[in-house]
Amino acid sequence: MNNTRSTDRKVIVVGGGIGGLAAALALARQGIRVELLEQAEKIGEIGAGIQLGANAFAALDALGVGEAARKRSVFTDYLVMMDAIDATEVAKVDVGERYRQRFGNPYAVIHRADIHLSILEAVQDHPLIQFRTATTVYALEQDERGVTVIDQHGERHQGDAVIGCDGVKIRRAPSLARRRAARDRACGVPRRGGRGRHASGPADQRAGGLGRP
């Protein structure tokens, strides 16, 4: 029987965008400690206005930030689709009061930065989340004890798992398989596996080099 308390566990989240903030907040609300690493020096979010349906507000409510997002949203009664050539109306969908009654949440438009800010405020206030900026991940190590993320200063951040949420900006850390192959070549160990490829094991890392802890 596992007697580990939630607060004894720690997850490292890489990336302070909407996805990273949401992941960190969801974990912390389950009592799990989180270290959130963001490579930018200042926290902010760029982008354009986006549309939020009822299911999006349900997700924000689950994170405890639904009301904050609602205060920054603009609610609409109709979703109108126009022809790009002659500007005629193609379709008109009622997303007003009937929509809200049926789905239990509104349909709205909001700037991406306002969604980010709504989650960021909750992250900054949560005692189980440590948010570190100006921290770029350069390497990751994994063993039976957990994972260690190494930043650009050589500082080591240890946890039970790591979640990569830095999108296209994330740096590819060398996988365990490639590092093992390099080590074996340096030691003169014959290559294993079929077709001249180094055999991989269950701890081999994939998905952008961050692996699956």
CATH, residue 158: 3.50.50.60
Amino acid 33: pLDDT: 97
Paired sense of beta strands 146-151 and 137-143, if any: antiparallel
Q: Average pLDDT of the chain? A: 83
Same structural domain, 134 and 190 = yes
Same structural domain, 56 and 152 = no
Same structural domain, 32 and 57 = no
Out of 33-47, 80-94, 165-179, the most confident range is 80-94
Same structural domain, 139 and 189 = yes
Amino acid 3: pLDDT: 53
Same structural domain, 96 and 190 = no
79, 112, 145 - which closes a domain: 112
Min mean pLDDT across 31-40, 42-51, 180-189, 192-201 is at 192-201
Same structural domain, 149 and 178 = yes
Domain total of the chain: 2
> Which of the four pLDDT bands, split at 50, 70 and 90, describes residue 209?
very low
Q: For residue 171, is pLDDT > 60? A: no
Structure tokens at 9: 């566990």
> Which of the four pLDDT bands, split at 50, 70 and 90, describes residue 46?
confident
Per the structure, the complete domain to which residue 89 belongs is given by: 49-112
203 occurs within a structural domain = no
Against a cut of 0.75, is the pTM above it? no
